[in-house]
Copies of this chain bind each other. A is one copy, B any other.
């Protein structure tokens, strides 16, 4: 832990890799592109899971589990889908010592196998809607991998729903986009733009894909969750049919939506600084770390007793609190250690604090003296709760301000190049695929920036404008920027 972290300003990617490892979130594995999620990182993921799972259940969804393996022929049933995923597949050719008659694909996503099961389960409109989510691992053979951001195997949830009408499926798609945004904003303190993907960025097989886009500390975009309206594409490929109220046989309308361990990367890059992680209190494995401080052996007992009673008071209030009473490490070393791990609030308790019946709070989100305050032990749990809430709010504010300060409207292609060199551009856009390709090509060639259309935000300014790419009339603005 004593080694230096690469500063963000020097090498952002290097900073990210350092943080992931020094904060013990994840480690490289001996398997190409696969990561090991270490206990601290996994606990963060468990807290992300809990926040999402609660929201899924509140909106009427249930969890289930579908097979890891998918017959190769299933993937090929939907033309766009196979085109999108074929290059990324891991294939099992042998099982139980024998070559398989049909190779099995390790699921890259489960629309196909779930579509097959839904066709078996759905007969009548009374069987709809089917509102199922799955927590699972998936595999996509990625060429360049980055811990949490792009790994060959990753963990995620994938919701798959089937409905009797297009409208209901569209409402579900947007409801889940809302659920994702609510989680990102309120639990992860990550401000996100909700929007529709352009055609070229749409999920293979979907009619429309929606996304939540977050701005990272280097002003690149990260797609942090997606929700797809699949129309009848998969219903037709897998024969999900039902008798409607008029006894007519109809194809169902389906959706799918997912958030993955990538969300951990979003948390790291939205909030972290050169001292390490900064975790939002709602998701932090330890919301509070208590560091007892003493010089002479005779001070130790009184300090440790105060620590114990503080821990008990905080635990009673439902605050996740960790005591670092290791001997052989200095308080200063421990401060750095837990700052690296992003614990939102540190409590220091020394002999003088014990005598004065107080403790010192030190906020991770506010550096130096400004973040420190002495607080009476009496009523501490309340003060800590309030401080954690203030930290959570401050982190969201700060990230929102950062994003807004680094997002600008681009009136023309020149402005688009300048703005996307160091932030996001909002611009009127016609929505045409050819125009989009042209914009990307020109910005890349002329400014060396590999931008993409991040999304067409759900919230639009209204009115009309002139397309930043082709100059035609445009009714919507889009967000452009570099992305992970």
Interface residues of A (CB under 8 A from B): 27, 29-31, 34-39, 41-43, 45-46, 62-71, 74, 86-97, 104, 106, 113, 116-117, 120-121, 132, 136-137, 139, 141-143, 152-153, 155
Contact = CB atoms under 8 A, between A and B. Distances in A.
Contacts of A153: 67-69
B63 A39 contact: yes
A74 B31 CA distance: 11
Nearest to A87: B97
Given A96-B88, A96-B89, A68 B137 contact: yes
As for how many copies of this chain the complex holds, the number is 2
Given A31-B71, A113-B30, A153-B69, A64 B38 contact: yes
B117 A67 contact: no
A43 B29 contact: no
Instruction: Tell me the interface secondary structure of chain A in the complex.
Output: mixed
Given A29-B117, A113-B30, A65 B93 contact: no
Contact of A69 (B31, B42, B63, B89): B31
A351 to B, nearest CB: 27
Nearest to A74: B30
Contacts of A43: 62-63
Nearest to A101: B32
A127 to B, nearest CB: 12
B94 A93 contact: yes
Contacts of A31: 67, 69-71, 104, 113
B141 A95 contact: yes
CB-CB nearest 10 A-B residue pairs: A96-B141, A34-B67, A39-B62, A37-B65, A91-B94, A95-B141, A90-B95, A93-B93, A31-B67, A39-B64
22 contacts: A27-B117, A29-B67, A29-B117, A30-B113, A31-B69, A31-B71, A36-B64, A37-B64, A38-B64, A39-B62, A39-B64, A42-B62, A43-B62, A45-B65, A67-B153, A68-B139, A87-B96, A87-B97, A91-B94, A92-B106, A96-B141, A97-B141
Given A39-B63, A68-B137, A153-B67, A95 B91 contact: yes
Contacts of A152: 95
A194 to B, nearest CB: 28
A293 to B, nearest CB: 21
B64 A42 contact: yes
Contacts of A37: 64-65
Nearest to A121: B27
A69 B153 CA distance: 9
A92 to B, nearest CB: 5
B89 A91 contact: no
A334 to B, nearest CB: 15
Contacts of A93: 91-94
